[in-house]
Amino acid sequence: MQPLRLTPKVPVIVSSSAFTTRYSGASDPSHRSRAQAVRANGIGPNSSQTPACEFGPWNPQIGSQVASDPSAAYVDESFEIDLAESSDSDNVPADDVGNGAPSASVKTRSPADEYMSDVEEVDDGSVTASGFSEMEEAGVGSWEHRMKALESLAEGLMPPWEQEGLMKDVSGLSVDALVSADAVYNKELSWLAFNWRVLYQALDKRTPLMERLRFLAITARNLDEFFCKRVGALKRQQAAGMANLIGHRSSWLWTPSQSLKIVAREVEQLVQMQLQCLQQDLLPSLRKHGISLVHWDELDTPAKDKLRAYYRAWLEPIITPLAVDPGHPFPFIGNMSLGIAVALRDPVDDDHEFAIVSVPNTCNRWHPLVRPNEEGSNEERNAFISVEEIIKANLASLFGGMEITSAHFFRVTRNADVERNEDEAEDLLEMITDEMRERKFAPFVRLEVDCEMPEEVLLKLSQELGLDSRDDVYRICGPLGLGEIDSIPVNLDENAKRAIVFTSWAPQTHPRLKGADIFDTIRHGDVLVHHPYHSFGTSTQHFVEAAARDPKVQAIKATLYRTSADSPVISALIKAAEYGKQVAVLVELKARFDEARNVGFAQKLENAGCHVAYGLVGLKTHCKCIMVVRRRRRAFGHTCTSAPAITTRAPPLSTPTSVSSVAAQNSVKTCEISSST
């Protein structure tokens, strides 16, 4: 028996045969760095504490060793883990621990500041190791293999959670049984369950009609991001052969392939509910309010003639049909872009060809129409047709002399989970710029197609994109890209708006900030403001703008994570630099999907004379903080718990504050404007 002392920030229980770990958020949330430590808690079967989020099954053979001392499992302490050798240590099932298999015992010691990667000398001197090579010389079995397995868990392959507290072998279960069994827990399904909650807001008839449409669009945008990030990560793990490591470690862990199959089926159900909500509920209800989406076949001849003229003037010049054949490789298709797959036949020699027409994203998705109202007068109403339908109806102008045998819409999603190695990066800005370029050409992870697309066209398209026609393709019997459904430019009068949107309201100016010099006000005491209930413009924004103009202000220091394209804070910082003040800004370049915007802001601030830092290696700066240094030996600071939102809409009581982009508008933002010596 050779004890090893590991020093994690959170206690860890390890079964050396099955590499079983227990993950929990029961301890200090600040100790959740996956990259630095295996985060785990030993939770005994008699414990009263409830696991927080991501867990592995409780191993009774290991857990019984600490069950007698429940406090030892929940205190941030370091443990000594004793690993016993076995002639066949890597092939013994977890249930055989204690029967000639490797075993583990847990001993607590005083809290330590080191992480699990540190290996120290144990008091009894049985192991004097400080690294993997010396560990091997000490004769500690397949230690390197065990550590690699644990590191894989720590980097995101979280074990499933069994609520009953007993480990079960689920390797023989079907996909249906896996989903319904309480023995497993999958974080991808957890995220999809969250998106179901958002969709429920779109289904809730108590929510105003246009707000329900907005919630539906949010679920679609959330799903797009889910495929870019989470499904993209699973695809990358699958390509790297992660299933082999997982299968060698244990049969009850989710493999990437298993997760992808479960996700595909769950997403199919979610998408079907989205379409039912739109087509059977929202669109019929919107028609009653004079708002409608129409198809080309529903239009009369004069309306079609007007749209053909619009097509020739505005769309045809920017459309390029692209043939796909041995002499013309498959064209580049951008992430989240719409296209039309066109099957053609040459009437002269009866040759069949295939072409792609990309729908331009530089024009408005929804084109307004002038249609007769119910009384028959020719009056403009809120009727719209999608631009892709206009293009599809006029494809003949692009393929002169060819017969169009079929034309169907499709939409692609690319992987946004690009591998990033910050430790080896010499320049964060250059690394993020390269990552954005790499993401532009990343592999495809999803293909959405018109449900009427012929099978041979679908197979051709999926093969060209490198996707599985069964698990990666989603047939949509409705408009593709529902995330843009709330961008319809509806024009309603105030009376009509009241019935279908949230009641508008104006943010209030904080009583202490009305007509007063903001620095004098802060000097007499801190000011606590709540966004969006208190006006952003008369508090946070006014604070920064006043600092930029005030001749007594010497310096402004700020952190930026996500900002709007026309951010008044950015403008104020640039003005401050132009006035000769010292301006230092930390711009977090690693804000997912906002990297390009933040890179642009960083360069804009640098050009104005600001000192710009690009974040810290290995960390993502989420905090939003501004400090203003002013003469008279006092420094005035403004700190905010999260990015303040500017909104003129009051949230209904039924609106949850945890819903994606809506949370940024509805949740209370607490800010404190304070002074310090």
- pLDDT of residue 427 exceeding 90, the answer is no
What does the pLDDT average to over 341-346? 94
CA atoms within 13 A on the CB side of 557: 8
> Interior CA angle at 239 toward 238 and 245, to 5°?
55
pLDDT band for position 636 (cuts 50, 70, 90): low
Percent of the chain at pLDDT exceeding 70: 60
Hey, what are 297's tokens?
């076949």
Residue 366 has pLDDT above 90, yes or no: yes
The reported pLDDT for the residue numbered 615 is 75
102 and 17 Cβ atoms separated by less than 8 Å: yes
Banded pLDDT at 359 (limits 50, 70, 90) = very high
Sheet strands (E) in 61-101: 79-83
Bigger pLDDT: 419 or 321?
321
Phi, psi of 585 (to 5 degrees): -130, 130
pLDDT of residue 311 exceeding 60, the answer is yes
pLDDT at 78 over 60: no
Whole-angstrom distance, CA of residue 413 vs CA of residue 227:
7
- Please indicate whether residue 622 is annotated as part of the active site: yes
Q: Sketch out the chain's domains with CATH numbers.
A: 1-167 (no CATH), 289-499 (3.30.1840.10), 511-676 (3.30.870.10)
Question: What is the total residue count of the chain?
Answer: 677
Q: Give tens-digit pLDDT for 111-120.
A: 223 323 333 3
In the structure encoding, which two tokens stand for residue 640, read together?
């905010």
User: Which residue reads 């390029």 in tokens?
Assistant: 320
Bond into 317 cis (ω within 30): no
Say what the pLDDT of residue 390 is: 97
Q: What is the pLDDT of residues 585-604, one digit of tens each?
A: 998 877 777 777 878 788 88
Out of 157-166, 241-250, 424-433, 612-621, least confident range: 157-166
Inter-CA distances, 345 with 341, 409, 467, 584, 666, Å: 14, 19, 26, 63, 54
Q: When comparing pLDDT for 17 and 431, which is higher? A: 431
Average pLDDT over residues 39-44: 30
CA 492 to chain centre: 33
Amino acid 566: pLDDT: 83
Mind listing the pLDDT tens digit for each residue in 258-308? 888 888 989 999 999 999 999 999 999 999 999 999 999 999 999 999 999
- Report d(CA 308, CA 286) in Å as an integer: 27
Question: What does the pLDDT average to over 124-142?
Answer: 37
Average pLDDT over residues 629-644: 57
The pLDDT > 90 percentage for the chain reads 36
Angle CA 166–170–175, to nearest 5? 135
Instruction: Give tens-digit pLDDT for 219-242.
Output: 999 999 999 988 988 888 887 776
Residues 534-557: what's their mean pLDDT? 91
pLDDT confidence bin for 522, thresholds 50/70/90: confident
DSSP H or E segment with residue 671: strand 669-676
- 3-state SS, residue 26: coil
Q: For residue 263, what are the contacts with CB-CB under 8 A and spacing of at least 6? A: 188, 189, 192, 230, 231, 234
For residue 451, pLDDT over 90 is answered with yes
DSSP state, residue 254: P
Average pLDDT, stretch 209-228?
Answer: 95
**Half-sphere exposure in the Cβ direction for 310 (13 Å, CA):** 19
Per the CB < 8 A criterion, the answer to whether 146 and 19 are in contact is yes
The residue-averaged pLDDT of 80-105 equals 35
**Quick one: pLDDT at residue 504?**
82
How many CB atoms are located within 10 Å of the residue 550 CB? 19
Residue at token pair 């190695």:
421
CB of 559 closer than 8 Å to CB of 637? no
Mean pLDDT calculated for residue range 552-570 = 87
User: Is residue 163 very low, low, confident or very high in pLDDT (cuts 50, 70, 90)?
Assistant: very low
526-547 average pLDDT score = 90
Q: What is the pLDDT of residue 144?
A: 54
pLDDT of residue 595: 74
